[in-house]
Structure formats: structure tokens, C-alpha cells
Structure 1
Amino acid sequence: MPHADIYEHFHPDEKSFVDRAWEWVERAAELHQVRRTDFLDPRQAHILFTLANKHPDVAIRLDGGGEDAERRRAIVAPDYRPLEDEPIGIGVLDIVSDDRRIGELDHGDYLGALLGLGMKRDKIGDIHPREDGCHVLIAEEIGDFLTGHLRQAHRVEVRASVIGLDGLKAVRPELEEMALSVASLRLDGVASDAFRLSRAKIMDPIRAGRCRVNWKPAEDPSAQLREGDIVSMKGFGRFKVLAIDGVSKSGRIRVRIGKFV
């Protein structure tokens, strides 16, 4: 178990992951074990690095299958072990269809189809939807199951196969830009405008723990947002604070955000 003071740096909801990550680090440092994790989001990767830095005998490698990957698997190992040749265990699920409606499917449709088969989110990396199909980074151990069971995504019949990482067609996420004029950079104020909800209605999901800022739980509606922050709200989507463009004559703050579509 980590020392009690370590928990002070993390949100209480992150305690279970902190405990797991600390165990990986300790086993690498003291028992010379090598651990390959499931896919981690950027916040989890940050936690793992923070804990590993407390052990000088531990090395970490992150890989999500592509240069700009958001979700990545990690290899945690003793620092004397070269990690470049350790298999990262990632495959590309190639989803295609004869139905032209496949071009209308988005990130959420594909993720919903995979989770609907009983897959854990941790086994799924980045999702790259295209007009003619989709590439999904997956833990290679679930590849056979998915190719045998994935038959539909949001009422569109599909086929799936697993290909190598060299065949990945990565798609940069599209951002729908919006210009906002807000009284302050409070989380509830910016989020209510971004999701077109009243200030009162945005409070409940924030206080209920359904909001994250930079993948970290955020339950304080008055938290101040900064340029570059990524805000996600379960059930509503997510947006990025692209720029803070100054203050208008009336004293309101001009903010540009990009909603992930």
C-alpha cells in the first residue's frame, strides 16, 4: 500500500487505481516483475509516472499504437530491462460494412457496440471512425472474440478483422469550434454554454461526479478552467478550451472552445 501522504495528491475516486499502480511499481522494483497494463487514459498515465518516480529502480514505457494516441498501454519493469523490444500487445480492429450508412457512425456508436459485447473500456484504445469504416486500437487478447462476435454497430451490419499496427489509418478528432462570452471561467458557467444547458441543470452532473477536467474527477462547479483544459461530461460529450481571447467592454470573457464530434 502507498504511504498515506501519497493519497493527498489524488482525488478520492482515484484511490483504487493508485493502489493498483503502486503495486505494479513495487513488484517491478522489489520483485523484478514486468507488468503490461490495459489501456490507460492520460490521467492514469500521469498517476503511474508520479508513483514510478518515487522508485528509482523502475522504468515505464507507454504506447498506444500511434504517435498521437490518447489511451496507451504501459509496461512497468525494473530499470535495467530494455523495454523497446517488449511486446505492447496492441492490435487494430478493422470494422467494415457493405451498408453505406457506416459513414454516419461516430465514436460513440462504435464504442457502444464494443461495450455491448461485454468488453471493458480498459481493453479498448483510441477509436478512429472514417467514411468507409473504423479502426479501433484493442488489446490483442480480445481480438479473436471481437472478430467472432461483432456483427452490428448502431443498427448497421458490420464485419471485423484484426490487422497489424502498420495498417492503422489514424483520424484526428474533429473539433466544432464555438465562441463563448462568459462572466467567468468557472466550470459550471463554461460547461453550461458549451452543452447548451441551464446553469442549474449543469450543477447536478458535476456534483454527482459525472464531470472530469483533464481526466481528473471535478465536482466543484466553481473550479476555474484554463486554456488547454479538456472537460468531459458523461452523457453530454466533451470539449477543449482552445483559447481565452480577452475581456469585452462589458467585462465578459471571450472564450473559444472546441467540441469533440
Structure 2
Amino acid sequence: MNIYQHFRPEEKEFIDQVLSWRDFVDTTYTPKLTDFLDPREQHIMKVLIGEHSDVKCEFFGGGVYTERQRAILMRDYEKANQEDFHISLFEIDYPTKFISIEHRQVLGTLMSVGLRRGKFGDILFAEKRIQFFVCEDVNSYLCAQIQAIGKAAVSLTKVELDEAIPSNVLYEEDTITVSSLRLDTALSGIHHLSRQKSQVLIGQGLVKVNWQMIENPSFECQTGDLISTRGYGRVKILSIDGKTKKEKWRITIGIQK
């Protein structure tokens, strides 16, 4: 069976990586810790590892309800502890009375220091407080590299994981039916829009899937996708549940509250 036919062509490299990790754990009996994975990557890993009876994977992103999470692949009789994920939490100290910092500025600064996106987990906000999760192995490098975000002078303070700002990303589950899995069709069903309106939003670059701008209306949605539409919020595709008697797709979604 061609395993790639169940996934997108651009996901082949990640699929090969997961299969390589799985074989490594299976043959060496050594656990494998990944960088932070987005929801779609987590889904792919669950599917691929779930087919192998001797290897399993566990996920943790540093706190409750985190979207980006690290995975540990291990033999089926092993169990991972929180410390095994080697995640650090940093709080950003800056002059809160005089300046505001936005999510995009934090992410942009983190990406500008030359590290892969996978080295960073969720970015958390609560009023003037800002925190982010990061792979432990880049702690020293980050502290040395980041002294400013935008026009604000900043410093990083490492805090305990149990001091994390509670995530406000909660999803309300719902079920919709759509005629196809195309992005424009799914968007219409999710937000009760006309197909034409959905295509305009996509064409204007206002729609992202798994944090990547998608400008192709025929892009096919799949389980685990996180769809963000400017002005309409975020929706996660929790599962694709097959077709109805009228040949429409039944999809379970999570709508961010």
C-alpha cells in the first residue's frame, strides 16, 4: 500500500522523517524526542505510529491546551514524564507602561535569530504579560540573542512550567456537512459564507492553514488542519467522518471561542 496517497504531496518529507524515527526507536530501543509540531504534524504522527504495535508516541507542549507540542516516540511499554520533553518557559520583561508588543512581533523576533520554527512552542498573552515555550537546548542562545522586540528593550526570564499563563484557546465542537473538502467549500460551511465570498478571502491572502497562507481555493482540507481566517477566527478540523447518503462530507470541527 502506498502510504503517501493518504497525505498531501508536500508532506512526504515529514512522513519520511516520522517513519525514520519510528524505525530508529524500534531497532535501537532508544526514545526519540521531536521539536514542536503543529496540529497537522501531530495528526500525521499519530496515524503513522498508530499502525506500529511496538512503538507509541506521547505529546506535551509545556502546558494545558497547547497547540504546538513536542512528541516522544518510545517502545510501547515505556512512559514519558513531563521532564523528558525538555521544554522551557520564558517570560518577556519589557516596559509595559510605555509600549505594547503583539504576537506577530514576538514570533518575528524569535524567527529572526536563525532557529527553526520547531524550536518554539505556543506564545502566551495575558494583559501585559507575554510568555513562550521553547526547546530547552536553545535556552542560552536565545537569552544571548534577544535584547529587543520591535522598539522595546526586553530581557528574558526563565520561569517554571506551572507558572504558565493559562491558555485561552478553547474550542467548541460542532459538525458540518460540505459538498467537498476544498478550502473554499469548507470555509463556506464553517462560517456560513457564500462560495464566492470564501474565494475572495482566500484570494486576498486572509486565510492560513497551519500558519501558512493558502491562496489556492482548491486546496484540500484534512484532519488536524488549523484554519485561520482574518476577521472570522480560527477553526480546527478534528475529524473527517465520511460521507452522508447525499454524498456530502461530514466534518467535526472545533471553533475557537
Query: TM-score scaled by structure 1?
Result: 0.71
Given the alignment, which residue of 84, 88, 92 partners 2:89? Answer: 92
- Residue by residue over 1:161-184, the C-alpha shift from the partner in whole angstroms, topping out at 9 and shown as x without a partner, is 222212212341499xxxxxxxx9
Alignment map for 1:1-261 (pairs within 5 Å): 5-84=2-81, 87-102=84-99, 104-173=100-169, 187-188=183-184, 190=187, 199=199, 202-203=202-203, 211-212=208-209, 221-222=217-218, 230-232=226-228, 239-241=233-235
Aligned mates of 1:56, 1:174 — CA distance in 2: 32
Whichever residue aligns with residue 124 of structure 1, its letter is F
Stretches of 4+ aligned residues off by more than 6 angstroms: 191-194, 214-219, 223-226, 257-260
Whichever residue aligns with residue 27 of structure 1, its letter is F
Are the aligned partners of 1:63 and 1:88 in contact in 2 as well (CA < 8 Å)? Answer: yes
Gaps of 5+ in 2: 172-179, 237-253
Q: CA deviation at 1:115?
A: 0.7
- Residue by residue over 1:99-133, the C-alpha shift from the partner in whole angstroms, topping out at 9 and shown as x without a partner, is 4244x322111111111111211000000023333
SS of the equivalent of 1:59 reads strand
Deviates more, 1:106-115 or 1:161-170: 161-170
- The 1:156–1:174 alpha-carbon spacing in structure 2 relative to 1, beyond 3 Å, is farther
Percent identity, aligned pairs only, is 31
- The 1:15–1:205 alpha-carbon spacing in structure 2 relative to 1, beyond 3 Å, is farther
The count of residues paired between Structure 1 and Structure 2 equals 225
SS of the equivalent of 1:114 reads helix
Are the aligned partners of 1:35 and 1:77 in contact in 2 as well (CA < 8 Å)? Answer: yes
Gaps of 5+ in 1: 176-183, 243-256
SS of the equivalent of 2:132 reads strand
- The 1:27–1:237 alpha-carbon spacing in structure 2 relative to 1, beyond 3 Å, is farther
Whichever residue aligns with residue 120 of structure 1, its letter is R
Are the aligned partners of 1:7 and 1:15 in contact in 2 as well (CA < 8 Å)? Answer: yes
Query: TM-score scaled by structure 2?
Result: 0.72
